[in-house]
């Protein structure tokens, strides 16, 4: 039953995770656990002004949690903080079936997860960690300015 979730794209991200590893002196560092599955993820980001200059992750857990974290680092790198928030919001809506997954994007490989609510937590873990990190303004930068439009 779970096999169909492990598409080639997901396995590829597991075997060759993008941006995996600790980021020294990160502006954002957030650790999150998914006790339901035993997944663990730490996301790191470096900001350049209001831009997400670099995103990395570390952790361990099921294929879906780690692949989704790897995809997230690619998706959020280079985005403005506002765009990153919007991407996270969009991803969460996709995971509950409210929005379509982008075609021609690795994220579409996670579409099958939507049918398994218990695995949605796995897929959302890194994204939730990033969101929490952003809402705290990153680590040790209390007055991080998110520009108004």
**In the complex with Zn ion, which residue's Cβ is closer, 30 or 39?**
39
Helix (H) / strand (E) containing 34 = strand 28-34
Q: How far is the CB of 65 from Zn ion (least distance, A)?
A: 4
142 phi/psi in degrees, rounded to 5: -55, -40
Q: How many residues bind Zn ion (CB under 5 A)?
A: 5
122 binds Zn ion (CB under 5 A): yes
* Residues 7, 25: Cα–Cα separation, whole Å: 35
Cβ neighbours, 10 Å, residue 147? 9
What does DSSP assign to residue 35? Answer: T
Beta strands in the chain (DSSP E): 28-34, 39-48, 51-60
**Residues 54-93: x/- map of binding to Zn ion (CB under 5 A)?**
--------x--x----------------------------
Q: How far is the CB of 10 from Zn ion (least distance, A)?
A: 12
130 in helix, strand or coil? helix
82 in helix, strand or coil? helix
Q: How far is the CB of 112 from Zn ion (least distance, A)?
A: 14
Q: Which of residues 8-47 bind Zn ion (CB under 5 A)?
A: 37, 39
Q: How far is the CB of 99 from Zn ion (least distance, A)?
A: 22
**In the complex with Zn ion, which residue's Cβ is closer, 65 or 128?**
65
Q: What residues make contact with Zn ion under the rule CB under 5 A?
A: 37, 39, 62, 65, 122
């Amino acid at each position: 039953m779970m096999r169909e979730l492990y598409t080639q794209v997901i396995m590829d991200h597991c075997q060759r995770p993008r941006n995996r590893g600790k980021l020294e002196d990160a502006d954002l560092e957030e650790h999150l656990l998914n006790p339901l599955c035993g997944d663990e993820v730490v996301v790191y980001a470096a900001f350049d002004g209001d831009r997400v200059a670099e995103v990395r992750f570390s952790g361990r857990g099921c294929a879906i949690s780690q692949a989704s974290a790897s995809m997230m680092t690619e998706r959020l790198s280079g985005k403005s903080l506002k765009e990153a928030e919007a991407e996270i919001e969009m991803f969460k809506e996709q995971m509950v079936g409210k929005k379509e997954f982008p075609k021609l994007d690795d994220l579409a490989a996670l579409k099958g997860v939507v049918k398994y609510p218990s695995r949605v937590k796995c897929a959302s873990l890194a994204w939730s960690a990033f969101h929490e990190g952003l809402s705290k303004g990153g680590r040790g930068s209390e007055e991080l300015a998110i520009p108004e439009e």
